[in-house]
Amino acid sequence: MFMQEKIMSDMIDTGFSDAQREAVSRELSKVLADSYAIYLKTHGYHWNVRGPEFFSLHGLFQQQYTEIWTALDEIAERIRALGELAPQSGSAFGNLTSISDGNPDKSANEMMSELIRDHGTVIKTARAALDAAAEAGDEATVDLMTQRLAAHEKAAWMLRSSLGNR
């Protein structure tokens, strides 16, 4: 088995050391887990939001979870391109994320406030991944994390504006 692992490791030629690939992939796995958690919460809030702003929030949440869903694949595929395995189970994601499950009993404003905080969490996680990638000279991951930062910053801004905040 060791020989097979060694042969597979030799086949991965990305210009990065094994340690660099593992460090970047470890941070990307956290971004993937946080992204999956916020995807699930946003999708659930899309289903369960109520109140006078239902229609606009239902649509906003759908727009946001759809964007995140696409990003999940991009993040996981970057991990695989670096030669590591992407986490794929609920327990793996649960061990990697600090984002809590959503609560459908929350009011629309509480849902938005919670999602704003959660986007902040993903932003911090993505910045850590960007830093690890920059340190390794991994421009492809830096680019991906730059895109994810912009997307989560925009999502948080839209939610803040929906609450009447800056």
Residues 72-100: tens digit of each pLDDT: 999 999 999 999 999 999 999 999 999 99
Asked if residues 143 and 75 have their Cβ atoms less than 8 Å apart, the reply is no
What is the CATH number assigned to the segment(s) 28-162?
A: 1.20.1260.10
Looking at residues 105-119, what average pLDDT do you find? 98
- Number of Cα atoms under 13 Å in the Cβ half of residue 111: 26
> Given this model, what pLDDT does residue 9 score?
52
CA 8 to chain centre: 28
Looking at residues 12-40, what average pLDDT do you find? 94
Q: Find, among 120, 119, 144, the residue nearest to 133 by Cα.
A: 144
What single-letter DSSP state applies at residue 163?
A: T
CA 157 to chain centre: 17
Q: How many residues does the chain have?
A: 166
Hey, where are the domains in the chain?
28-162
pTM: 0.91
Residues 114-155: tens digit of each pLDDT: 999 999 999 999 999 999 999 999 999 999 999 999 999 999
